[in-house]
Amino acid sequence: VQLQASGGGLVQAGGSLRLSCVVSGWYLEIIGIGWFRQAPGKEREGVSCIGRSDDQTWYADSVKGRFKISRDYGNNIVYLQMMNLTQEDTAVYYCATGGDVYCSDYVPDYEYDYWGQGTQVTVSS
């Protein structure tokens, strides 16, 4: 299984970005995908997760209402649409999977076995 995250960049506060996670080796229909982020000097934290069904999603309180996770089954891609970004969102963002991850609640990072390489998101003032 391989995951490749992309879509990061430099954006002004209040702006938007859409991150992509291309998954190869597994079909999205049978796995869950999580998004994590790690800011300089901070621990990695969960941002969002989507399980096998589209109604099985979870968002961190800090991004609820601003971020939306979705899937493109045909291209095996999971997206993280990020809106109204703040400087607190600056971090390296990673996507990950642990197979059949159940995302009705927070799933800790040790439940994930496969990780993408990360994409940098920088929000300027």
CB-based contacts of 4, cutoff 8 Å, min separation 6 = 21, 22, 24, 116, 117
The model's pLDDT over 75-114, given as tens digits with 9 standing for 90+, comes to 999 999 999 999 999 999 999 998 888 898 899 999 999 9
Edge-to-edge order in the sheet of strand 2-6: 2-6, 17-24, 77-82, 67-72
List the one residue out of 2, 16, 4 whose CA is nearest residue 118: 4
What is d(CA 89, CA 37) in angstroms, rounded to the nearest whole number?
9
- Angle, alpha carbons 45-113-54 (nearest 5°): 70
The count of other CB atoms within 10 Å of the CB of residue 64 is 10
Residue 27 is predicted with a pLDDT of: 85
The model's pLDDT over 10-57, given as tens digits with 9 standing for 90+, comes to 999 999 999 999 999 888 888 899 999 999 999 999 999 999 888 899
List the one residue out of 85, 35, 96 whose CA is nearest residue 60: 35
